[in-house]
């Protein structure tokens, strides 16, 4: 259980460090003159929506894993690390080119001086509505620990993920431009994919 939770902590930590998670709202807040408190509230809202969607994906993976475990535990012990490895390989192969990243960024003019409701909806559609499949796939392993494992990992995802995003967004809002993490911005799929694949290989040889 301990190794499983440490792996989850590492993944959700990297997830929170992805720059668009904390810079999107802060950039808009500063442009539109929102207060620090308003920036935090909007960040918390859009971050929570994103995490809840990822948690729902995680529940689906957990349900599939529980089905495999109940039918054949020996197969589950082989399949569960492979799910992580294969998912990691898929993301490791996703290379987001610079021009595509530029297109995915928020159009600041589109949200300039708009109502907060419009701004929140725009940011959600642009940055946060796509669940993180890698975090969801990791929940496949939670089947080994029944509902206890699932509840613990989902709580960790929500608390650590949301706290990390809000903390970094607040730092960025206050002018700490050095936390852009350009390497993570350019290679977040590859980095998370490599970590997930590494966890899969680790659990394949050590077990859970």
Q: What is the pLDDT of residue 193?
A: 81
pLDDT at 24 over 80: no
Element (H, E) at 68: helix 36-71
- Given a contact cutoff of 8 angstroms between Cβ atoms, the answer to whether 200 and 193 are in contact is no
Q: Which domain holds residue 49?
A: 2-203
pLDDT at 23 over 90: no
Residue-wise pLDDT tens digits, 84-126: 898 888 877 765 444 434 444 566 777 777 777 887 787 777 6
Q: Which one, of 106, 121, 86, lies nearest residue 197 by Cα?
A: 86
Q: What is the pLDDT of residue 165?
A: 87
**The total number of structural domains that make up the chain:** 1
- Its pTM stands at 0.80
Q: What is the pLDDT of residue 33?
A: 86
6 assigned to some structural domain? yes
Strand positions, DSSP E, 57-186: none
Helix axes of 146-173 and 36-71: crossing angle, nearest 10 degrees: 160
Q: What is the pLDDT of residue 99?
A: 41
Spatial separation of the C-alpha atoms in residues 3 and 172, rounded to whole Å: 32
208 assigned to some structural domain? no
- Identify the three-state secondary structure at position 1: coil
Q: Which one, of 135, 149, 148, lies nearest residue 5 by Cα?
A: 149
Spatial separation of the C-alpha atoms in residues 115 and 130, rounded to whole Å: 23
173 assigned to some structural domain? yes
Model confidence band, residue 182 (pLDDT cutoffs 50, 70, 90): low
The lowest-confidence range among 45-49, 63-67, 105-109 is 105-109
């Amino acid at each position: 259980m301990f190794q499983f939770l440490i792996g989850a902590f590492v993944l959700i930590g990297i997830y929170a460090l992805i720059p668009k998670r904390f810079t999107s709202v802060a950039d808009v807040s500063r442009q539109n003159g929102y207060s620090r408190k308003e920036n935090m509230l909007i960040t918390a809202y859009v971050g929570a929506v994103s995490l809840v969607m990822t948690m729902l994906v995680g529940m689906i993976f957990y349900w599939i894993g529980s089905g495999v475990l109940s039918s054949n535990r020996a197969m589950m012990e082989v399949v569960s690390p492979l799910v992580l490895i294969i998912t990691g390989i898929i993301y490791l192969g996703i290379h987001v080119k610079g021009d595509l990243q530029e297109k995915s960024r928020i159009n600041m003019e589109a949200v300039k001086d708009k109502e907060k409701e419009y701004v929140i909806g725009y940011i959600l559609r642009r940055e946060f509505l796509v669940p993180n499949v890698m975090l969801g796939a990791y929940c496949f392993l939670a089947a080994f620990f029944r509902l206890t494992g699932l509840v613990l990992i989902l709580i960790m995802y929500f608390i650590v993920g949301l706290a990390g995003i809000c903390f970094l967004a607040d730092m960025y809002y206050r002018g700490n431009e050095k936390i852009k993490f350009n390497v993570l911005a350019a290679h977040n799929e590859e980095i998370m994919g490599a970590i997930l694949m590494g966890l899969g290989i680790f659990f394949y040889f050590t077990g859970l």
